Amino acid sequence: MINLKADLLHFQYEDIFAYINKRNNYANIGADQMIRKGKKSSILKAISSATFAFIRHYFLRLGFLDGRAGFVIAIIQSQYSFNKYLFATYR
């Protein structure tokens, strides 16, 4: 076993813009999968899904304990969910 002398920091994304772009790409792929499976979407579904995604990530998964970062992640997850259903609605 190797002991490190310092913390090992691992960043999955270069910056927040790369993270948002990646999430939008995943939303696009998710919308395509929904359409292929014959699932219907609507603006109301997009809004309700986004709202629940925020609640799930910020409150149920305790994102509020991470301060600003937890809030931003919950917002980005909410945006991902909204975009997925929105993209599926307008295809």
CA distance 88 to 4: 47
Calpha distance 58→70 (Å, rounded): 7
Q: Are 82 and 49 in contact (CB under 8 A)?
A: yes
Strand (E) or helix (H) holding 71: helix 67-89
**The pTM is what?**
0.83
Predicted confidence band at 7 (pLDDT cuts at 50, 70, 90)? Answer: confident
pLDDT: which is higher, 8 or 29: 29
Decide: 63 and 20 in contact? Cβ < 8 Å.
no
Q: What is the pLDDT of residue 2?
A: 82
